[in-house]
């Protein structure tokens, strides 16, 4: 009797944990929270935001919106620059 109850309880707890993990995974995908980047390039020597915008045909507004925390005066080689995605 006690063993059956224990097993049932354990199963119940397992299901609750699975549901909680599932729920947090789903809500963790958060829609509309900041920009989404779908493609990045590494900055090359001498790259500027303007050069990258020209290369990938992006408007400065769009580039800024998908790279919200980028400081264009302090690019470093290999820095990930977002070139495709959904801006704010």
Binding positions for ligand NAG, rule: CB under 6 A: 57, 71, 73-74
- Taking the complex as a whole, the smallest distance from the CB of residue 71 to ligand NAG amounts, in Å, to 4
Minimum distance from residue 32 beta carbon to ligand NAG (Å): 25
Q: How far is the CB of 20 from ligand NAG (least distance, A)?
A: 39
Q: Provide the greatest CA pair distance for the chain.
A: 74
| Region of residue 48 (phi > 0: left; psi between -120 and 50: alpha; otherwise: beta) | beta
Q: Which residues contact 51 (CB under 8 A, 6 or more apart)?
A: none
- CB nearer to ligand NAG: give 25 or 69: 69
């Amino acid at each position: 009797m006690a063993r059956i109850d224990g097993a049932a309880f354990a199963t119940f707890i397992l299901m609750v944990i699975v549901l909680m993990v599932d729920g947090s995974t789903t809500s963790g995908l958060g829609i509309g929270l900041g920009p989404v980047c779908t493609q990045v390039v590494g900055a090359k020597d001498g790259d500027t935001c303007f050069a990258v915008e020209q290369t990938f045909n992006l408007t400065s507004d769009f580039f800024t919106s998908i790279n919200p925390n980028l400081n264009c005066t302090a690019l470093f080689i290999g820095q990930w620059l977002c070139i495709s995605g959904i801006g704010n």
